[in-house]
Amino acid sequence: MSASSRTYRSLRPTRSTALSVLYTVGSLLALTAVLLSPSVPTVVLCAAAMVTAFALVCGRSPLAAGVTWLVLSPVLYPLARYPRSGSLVTFDRVLLAALVLALLIGRGSRRPSAPSVRAFAIAAVVFAALFLARAVTTHPHAVGALETFVDAVLLPCAAFCVCRRTADSPRRVSLWASGLVVCGTVVALLGITEHLFGYELASLSGGAVRADTESGGVIRVSGPYPVPEVYALTLALTLAATMFWWMDGRMHGAHRRAFRSVLGPVLAVVQVVGMALSLFRVAWACALVILVIGLGLRAGRRLRLAAVGSAVALAALVAFVPLQDNAVFRTRIGNTDNVAGRLATYQVGAEIWRSAPLTGVGINRFVDAQSRIHVREVWGVRSVQSPHSSFVGALAEQGAFGFTALIALCVFCARMLRGLGRLATGDPTRQVLRAAVIAGALSYLAFSMELTMLPLGPSNVALAVLLGLAAASIENAGPQGAERHAHTTAGPAVTTPLVNAVS
């Protein structure tokens, strides 16, 4: 072969080079179109190019990309969004879409799924499908309903899948937990500094500053999120992850044990202080529950749980005495009108459900439907302009179909955690993880019982990551894990070594 022929072959563009050039030109054209004439089609086209680019980068190390997203999310949540009115493109939407795309085009081997994890995933898909169907058929506000679906359902499902696929070893589970710890610390620090210095980020996130009129106009901190409820629940979930990160470090080498034994309590205190500033009584109660379960719940050690519970209760009692002199605390503790208002609202929710029992009135249509229902009162207190419960809201807006799917999702979540409990016997790391996930799930349930948390996205994403750690830990045990082995007649003396071996 002549030198000229070899030169020609080396200069001839390959298929991948041509595709790269076309992609680069298309991305530049999309970016130019957005800068010259911003509109929904051009923004969507530019976002698709961004997702593809990030997917190619994330595909090299999905774990590092996922943890980086988790750490940066609270800081960039109020800042990285376009346009400001409507927020068609956000940091979470772009990065999570890129991570899912990177996993889809990757060629990594997939682990066999455990029965409880597979059942939970199927329940989540069914719930998401029904939510999407009702969002599409919600008129005349289908666009707003679809935005709620994306942020509150689709993104958490994506976060669960990414965490479940990438946390394929105990070390990677710990890395994801570290990301949650940093995320919670950043959120708490933003809330604390917001309280101390008086700035706010809620307006940048699509919300508004909320003043508590019952407590003399005290500003309710919301950190980087649009509403204080998301701020408080996100901290509850990250506090549960912090308990796992702290306790898990005590089971490893001396260096890690010393590092986490010192830093873990400090970060936990920072997040508890952030939760206290939210002024939600459910947040205060959840902080105590998380501490008790995270520190005390271990397989076969009920005395430890009782001792930790007594110590936390005593500490709470000691702190309660001086807090009684604080006017805001005293007002929040003694206020019973909002409880009566919630009960009245639940009656309104039942009336709304009766108007459309199978499919509900539509996503985000509770307030509109409430205007057509006679006002209800309980103990002289009128109903409020919100479902004030994720379950009441789901029943009214999605009807029996959506409500049943939500209950089934909760049931299969409990089943998955029971599977993790079987694996936890004889495995200290899984015991600590099980305690943390149970504490986080109970906190989410407590918030959802009296606040409308389901349509709010960031706290759902934090819960999805925590449940993804549980699912990954179950599947890390392999096909001979205790969840499958529990159906045999083998005794604990045989099960424990087998679980330890595959872990």
Model confidence pLDDT, tens digit, residues 483-492: 444 443 333 3
CA distances from 43 to 81, 136, 220, 332 (A): 11, 22, 34, 45
**Sign of the CA dihedral 237, 239, 243, 245?**
positive
The b/e string for 266-284 (b: 16+ C-beta within 10 A; e otherwise) is ebbebbbbbbbbbbbebbb
Residue 500 has pLDDT above 60, yes or no: no
pLDDT band of 288, cuts 50, 70, 90? very high
Return the pLDDT at 291. Answer: 96
The number of CA neighbours under 13 Å toward the Cβ of 85 is 2
**Burial classification of residue 317, based on how many CB atoms lie within 10 Å of its CB (0-12 exposed, 13-18 middle, 19 or more buried):** exposed
Residue 42 has pLDDT above 50, yes or no: yes
Return the pLDDT at 241. Answer: 97
Smallest Cα–Cα separation from 395: which of 443, 361, 368?
A: 361
Q: 33 vs 243, which has greater pLDDT? A: 243
Residue 19 has pLDDT above 90, yes or no: no
Return the pLDDT at 216. Answer: 65
Largest CA distance in the chain: 97
Model confidence pLDDT, tens digit, residues 441-480: 999 999 999 899 999 989 999 999 999 999 999 998 865 4
AA letter at 447: F
Residue 293 has pLDDT above 80, yes or no: yes
Smallest Cα–Cα separation from 176: which of 264, 276, 71?
A: 71
Instruction: Name the phi and psi angles at 82, rounded to 5.
Output: -150, 135
Q: Identify the DSSP state of 150.
A: I
**Burial classification of residue 126, based on how many CB atoms lie within 10 Å of its CB (0-12 exposed, 13-18 middle, 19 or more buried):** middle
- Contacts for 80-86: CB closer than 8 Å, 24+ residues apart: 81/205, 81/206, 82/43, 83/38, 83/43, 84/204
Which structure tokens are listed for 91?
């940091």
pTM: 0.88
Per mean pLDDT, which of 137-151, 253-267, 392-406 is the most reliable?
Answer: 392-406
Rg, the chain, Cα only: 25
Structural contact between residues 54 and 98, judged by C-beta atoms closer than 8 angstroms:
yes
Q: How far apart are CA 210 and CA 277, in angstroms?
A: 13
Model confidence pLDDT, tens digit, residues 106-144: 766 566 788 999 999 999 999 999 999 999 999 888 999
Return the pLDDT at 78. Answer: 92
74 forms bridges with which residues in the sheet? none
pLDDT, averaged across the chain: 85
pLDDT band of 74, cuts 50, 70, 90? very high
